[in-house]
């Protein structure tokens, strides 16, 4: 009702006055939200800033489930009238992708107002208004806030009102580590993968599955063993990756570090874990993997599962469990059909579990000297009839030099 009345006033005012109102909007500043950036650089803070060089606007803001968000608005009075007005935030809501809206609270109510001192020919900030009431799970939408500057008490000064909108992302925990200033692209990605989750482990599973099935990274197996997205000082080239659209090649380091960053964007502290196979024949670490379906291929097709020769494998370690978006396995640790990437598996479950005739996990056995045709270039003739055997991994944190 209020909004309908206001629309009427706008129409009436614009038909009669034929001029801009003397009060105009300037800056908007959220507090409590997470620092954000995208591939081009940091987002503006205040989130909207008017300046002589134009407008800088943050295209999104991020808050976690338990976050305390407040907002204030700056305006400029381009008239000689001054006095005390009323600044009213009369609604806040979150518009979801299914076109439903979640009403948000303003200072704990549906709306709030406070007096504001309006100088002549000067700028003035509104008080802070607390915004709350978004759902307690990972999601995103369009934050809409409607406000009025009521100047009824200042004769001759025309008031002002506006509805503003921001892309609004609710993540699980405040982003951490390399994502302390969270990259918008990654936050959108993780929001899509883990939509609706409120549990860290389940969110981690969603991120692992989401990345595996994203048709983003493709691991071409033995064709490509060097990492593609690290520079010579071992920094992950996130900017160039995000600028490259579509499917790209990546090995387990690329996938694990990217997954590590996805976890961090949702505030899930984790580490990329390098699993080196213990030394075997020839004093090599080379091992034959289980039949794996590498990231990028369709894991529902049995012929996409093949063994690969590796010396090491990089994964994500979160809450003591392994999350591996680089590959899918046909069987779960209990021998049931799985056909998905390992997520929240124990270290042992991920590496090797002996079930007698069968085994589960990533590592099947050492590569035998008789299977090595050539060291340079590496060429093998795998004897797929050789039985599985227990090997052990030597795990260490994979330390990389940051992100570019």
Q: Which parts of 123-162 interact with another protein (CB under 8 A)?
A: 146, 148-150, 158-162
Closest to another protein by CB, 235 or 344: 235
Task: Count interface residues toward another protein (CB under 8 A).
Answer: 87
Q: Are 291 and 228 in contact (CB under 8 A)?
A: no
Q: Does 200 bind another protein (CB under 8 A)?
A: no
Contact code string over 230-259 relative to another protein, x by CB under 8 A: -xxxxx-x-xx--xxxxxxx----------
Neighbours of 156 (CB within 10 A): 10
Figure out which of the listed residues 65, 120, 176, 276 binds another protein, where binding follows CB under 8 A: 276
Figure out which of the listed residues 17, 114, 180, 192 binds another protein, where binding follows CB under 8 A: 17
- Could you tell me the smallest distance in angstroms from the CB atom of residue 268 to another protein? 24
Span of 170-178, 200-208, 290-298, 327-335 interacting with another protein by CB under 8 A? 290-298
Where in 321-380 is the site for another protein (CB under 8 A)? 372, 375, 377-378
Closest to another protein by CB, 136 or 378: 378
Figure out which of the listed residues 51, 226, 336, 381 binds another protein, where binding follows CB under 8 A: 226
Closest to another protein by CB, 200 or 398: 398
Q: Does 309 bind another protein (CB under 8 A)?
A: yes
- Cα Rg of the chain (Å, integer): 28
Closest to another protein by CB, 243 or 355: 243
- Could you tell me the smallest distance in angstroms from the CB atom of residue 5 to another protein? 9
- Could you tell me the smallest distance in angstroms from the CB atom of residue 374 to another protein? 10
Figure out which of the listed residues 103, 119, 136, 165 binds another protein, where binding follows CB under 8 A: 165
Judging by DSSP bridges, how do beta strands 182-183 and 36-38 pair with one another?
Answer: parallel
Closest to another protein by CB, 356 or 375: 375
Structure tokens, 373? 């045709």
Structure tokens, 143? 């934050």
- Residue 77: closest CA among 47, 116, 114: 116
Closest to another protein by CB, 22 or 210: 22
Where in 60-99 is the site for another protein (CB under 8 A)? none
Spatial CB neighbours of 106, under 8 Å, sequence gap ≥ 6: 89, 91, 92, 112, 129, 130, 131
Closest to another protein by CB, 117 or 163: 163
Closest to another protein by CB, 112 or 252: 252
- Could you tell me the smallest distance in angstroms from the CB atom of residue 199 to another protein? 32
- Residue 332: closest CA among 316, 320, 344, 318: 344
Residue entry with tokens 């506006």: 162
- Could you tell me the smallest distance in angstroms from the CB atom of residue 226 to another protein? 5
Figure out which of the listed residues 298, 319, 358, 383 binds another protein, where binding follows CB under 8 A: 298
- Could you tell me the smallest distance in angstroms from the CB atom of residue 201 to another protein? 28
Contact code string over 375-404 relative to another protein, x by CB under 8 A: x-xx-----------------x-xx-xx-x
- Residue 127: closest CA among 166, 165, 89, 162: 89
Rounded Cα gap, residues 55 and 44, in angstroms: 10
Closest to another protein by CB, 96 or 218: 218
Q: Does 50 bind another protein (CB under 8 A)?
A: no
Span of 75-83, 99-107, 227-235, 381-389 interacting with another protein by CB under 8 A? 227-235
């Amino acid at each position: 009702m209020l909004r309908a009345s206001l629309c009427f006033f706008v129409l009436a005012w614009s038909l009669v006055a034929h001029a801009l109102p003397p009060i105009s909007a300037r800056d908007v500043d959220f507090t409590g939200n997470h620092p954000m950036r995208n591939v081009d650089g940091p987002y503006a803070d205040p989130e909207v800033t008017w300046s002589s060089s134009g407008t800088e606007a943050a295209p999104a803001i991020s808050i976690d489930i338990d976050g305390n968000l407040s907002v204030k608005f700056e305006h400029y009075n381009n008239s000689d009238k001054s006095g005390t007005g009323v600044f009213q935030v009369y609604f806040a809501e979150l518009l979801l992708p299914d076109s439903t809206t979640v009403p948000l609270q303003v200072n704990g109510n549906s709306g709030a107002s406070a007096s504001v001192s309006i100088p002549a020919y000067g700028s003035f900030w509104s008080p802070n208004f607390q915004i709350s009431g978004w759902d307690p799970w990972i999601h995103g939408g369009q934050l809409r806030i409607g406000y009025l500057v009521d100047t009824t008490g200042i004769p001759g000064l025309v008031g002002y009102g506006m509805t503003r909108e921001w892309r609004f992302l609710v993540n699980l925990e405040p982003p951490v580590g390399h994502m302390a200033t969270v990259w918008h692209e990654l936050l959108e990605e993780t929001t899509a993968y883990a939509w609706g989750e409120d549990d860290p482990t389940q969110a981690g599973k969603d991120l692992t599955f989401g990345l595996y099935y994203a048709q983003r990274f493709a691991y071409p197996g033995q064709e490509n063993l060097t990492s593609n997205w690290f520079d010579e000082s071992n920094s992950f080239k996130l900017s160039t990756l995000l600028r490259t659209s579509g499917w790209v090649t990546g090995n387990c380091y690329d996938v694990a570090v990217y997954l590590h960053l996805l976890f961090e964007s949702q505030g899930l502290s984790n580490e990329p874990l390098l699993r080196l196979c213990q030394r075997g024949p020839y004093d090599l670490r080379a091992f034959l993997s289980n039949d794996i379906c590498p990231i990028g291929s369709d894991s529902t097709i049995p012929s996409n599962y093949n063994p690969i020769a590796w010396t090491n494998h990089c994964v994500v370690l979160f809450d003591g469990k392994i999350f591996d978006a680089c590959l899918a396995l046909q069987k779960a640790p209990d021998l049931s059909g799985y056909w998905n990437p390992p997520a929240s598996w124990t270290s042992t479950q991920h590496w090797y579990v002996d079930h007698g005739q069968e085994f589960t996990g990533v590592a099947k056995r050492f590569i035998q000297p008789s299977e090595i045709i050539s060291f340079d270039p590496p060429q093998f003739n795998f004897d797929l009839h050789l039985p599985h055997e227990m090997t052990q991994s030597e795990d260490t944190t994979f330390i990389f030099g940051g992100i570019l």
